[in-house]
A and B are shown apart, each in its own frame.
With several copies, the nearest count.
Chain A
Amino acid sequence: MKINIEFSGGLETVFQNIRKYSIDLEAPSDGSPLNIKYLLTYMVDVLMDADSKANGGVGLFLLDGLIRPGVLILINDTDWELEGEEEYLLQEGDIILFASTLHGG
């Protein structure tokens, strides 16, 4: 299934400095659902660069396996809270945007 991943606000720095991914995601082999929860682990396993992983990059993305506070997940330009959060089942062509809150001014 084709899924688009985009970053806004800086998270791309731990994902090989690439702001947009177009990935082909297969259903997990253990039969678990192809949802956002699975996408998060996939991103750490496959897309995060080794250097970032070695230097605490996971902690900038996840906290206790959940998305870390200060990162908004947007599913096709809509807040994931309106879409079922972690349990949202990915659909062909979805655009998942990870927006880190900025504080600078």
Chain B
Amino acid sequence: KESNDFPLSLEEYQRYGRQLLVPQVGMKGQLKLNNAKVLVVGAGGLGCPSLAYLAGAGVGTIGIVDHDTVDISNVHRQFLHSSVRVGMYKVDSAIEYLKELNSNVTYIPYRFGINNENAFKIFSQYDLVLDCTDLPKTRYLISDVSSLLGMPLVSASALKTDGQLAIYNYLEGPCYRCLFPVPPPANSVLSCGDGGIIGPVVGVMGVMQAIEAIKVITGAYEDGSVEGGFIFGLTLLGAYCSPQWKFIRMRGKKNNCKICGEAPVIKRDMIESGQMDYSEFCGSAGPVKTL
């Protein structure tokens, strides 16, 4: 990688050849990917496909956060974790797989959950965050921290047969809290463990996160590659609906948002000190009701 004429190694030219051919990526985009640092929070149903395609595309540094270990009930949709790795940390299982896929990438494991104390220190080492988690309190924490650090957040979620996707904190767009200032009642929240999930439904949302991450990293929303530039909205999947996909244009940044508004009230020190209590904010998960 010495000279500017050949910014990639021969192996990289061969490996990334098919995406180098695509004008929206090209050499300029590939170098941006090689230099990008992406944090994937959650190595489950969303994280597995995102990670496989981000590593495949040659994102330079990938951090992976997950406190959990592989359970046999994960394997139907979390395809980085094979049956033979049940019991291993998901982070280690994922990295074992990803290293064989593409050893050019630097993988950084975090074998614990994101929390008030560690979030800023970890996040600030990356350019972009993917929210692949499954609890409202974690989703608020991830959004607040990435918004305060000015990092784009590619967020997806899924349950049963449905999925949702959005990019927060990006260009002039809103944060998660602008859209959802008040958390849902705890008894209305279902995880994939409780509500069930069809494997490729969550899978397709994770792959869409990889597409959006590549677009954000390569600047596609800013250089005219995406016609019309960035329009904030939600992409909805209803796998048993017809049509299956819907894009909903949503409100922008809210002036009174507690994180990204004109007079923000939630600050970094309030989060790090624990004054901002996400468990309390989202309520304790009591017995779960029907959705």
Contact = CB atoms under 8 A, between A and B. Distances in A.
A and B touch in the complex (CB under 8 A): yes
Contact of B44 (A59, A81, A101, A105): A105
A37 to B, nearest CB: 18
A97 B157 CA distance: 18
B159 A68 contact: no
Contact of A105 (B42, B160, B185, B227): B42
B10 interface: no
Given A70-B180, A79-B250, A104 B202 contact: yes
Interface residues of A, number: 34
Best-surrounded residue of A71, A79, A82 (most CB of chain B within 10 A): A79
A8 B244 CA distance: 11
Interface string A9-52: 11101100001100000000000000000000000000000001
Contacts of A13: 290-291
Contacts of B291: 9-11, 13-14, 60, 100
Interface string B56-84: 00000000000000000000000000000
B190 interface: yes
Task: Give chain A's interface secondary structure class.
Answer: mixed
Contact of B185 (A63, A74, A102): A63
A52 B181 CA distance: 27
B164 interface: yes
Interface residues on B, range: 35 or more
A99 interface: yes
A77 B248 contact: yes
B143 to A, nearest CB: 12
Interface string A69-97: 11110100111011000000000000001
A103 to B, nearest CB: 5
Contacts of B247: 77
Given A60-B188, A103-B189, 14 more contacts: A8-B236, A8-B238, A9-B291, A10-B195, A19-B227, A55-B290, A57-B290, A60-B185, A72-B250, A78-B248, A101-B157, A101-B180, A104-B158, A105-B134
Interface of B: 42, 44-47, 131-136, 139, 156-160, 162-164, 179-185, 187-192, 195, 197, 202, 227, 234, 236, 238, 241, 246-251, 289-291
